[in-house]
Amino acid sequence: MDNENRVIILTSNEDLINQLSANKIPDTHTINFNYLDNLSQLNSKIDKFNDRICVICRNVAIGYNYDVLTCASCRIFFYRNQNQRNKLKCLLRQGQCSIDYKHDRKCPRCRLDRCFQVGMRKDLRINHQQKRHISSKSVSQPTHTTDNHFPLKLVDFVLSK
């Protein structure tokens, strides 16, 4: 799953619904609102859509760590550095570095900032399982980077069912 663009389509158009029902379209998940019980279930679908990708670096995620879906290395990175921000220096001095697992070295300052941006918290964690998925903020990579991949994440979604 390396497509550039990802969209959520909410529709009541019969033709489109029939088209989606008739054919299995790659990289596409459809959700019938009538069978949707709760937000957790919807986010579960979105997780599959995301292929469980780390929100920080796009590596394969191992699960929710400090409230955010991340890989193992970003998890331990946040654990180690959450209180060390002042010690970390931006490699570019611009605070605009993109963080990507494909590049072996990463800017620790911008990596930690991204952790906070997407909502990783040690002390202010939300305890309820179901609220966990909501806590992640939708944050895009800095605009200067060309490959602007990041997992879709539902934020404060209100079911209008």
Q: Which residues of the shown chain bind DNA in the complex (CB under 7 A)? A: 62-67, 71-77, 79-81, 87, 101, 104-106, 108, 122, 125, 132
* 108 is an interface residue for a copy of itself by CB under 8 A: yes
Cβ contact 54:101 at 8 Å: yes
Question: CA–CA separation, 136 vs 153, rounded Å?
Answer: 7
How many residues in the chain?
Answer: 161
- Which does residue 89 touch among DNA, Zn ion, a copy of itself, none (CB within 5 to 8 A, set by kind)? a copy of itself
Q: Which residue bears the tokens 């596409």?
A: 28
Give the interface size with a copy of itself as a residue count (CB under 8 A): 10
* 107 is an interface residue for Zn ion by CB under 5 A: yes
Contacts of 118 (CB under 8 A, 6+ apart): 55, 56, 68, 136, 137, 139
Question: Which chain residues interact with a copy of itself by CB under 8 A?
Answer: 89, 91-93, 97, 103-105, 107-108
Question: Which chain residues interact with Zn ion by CB under 5 A?
Answer: 54, 56-57, 59, 71, 74, 90, 92, 97, 107, 110
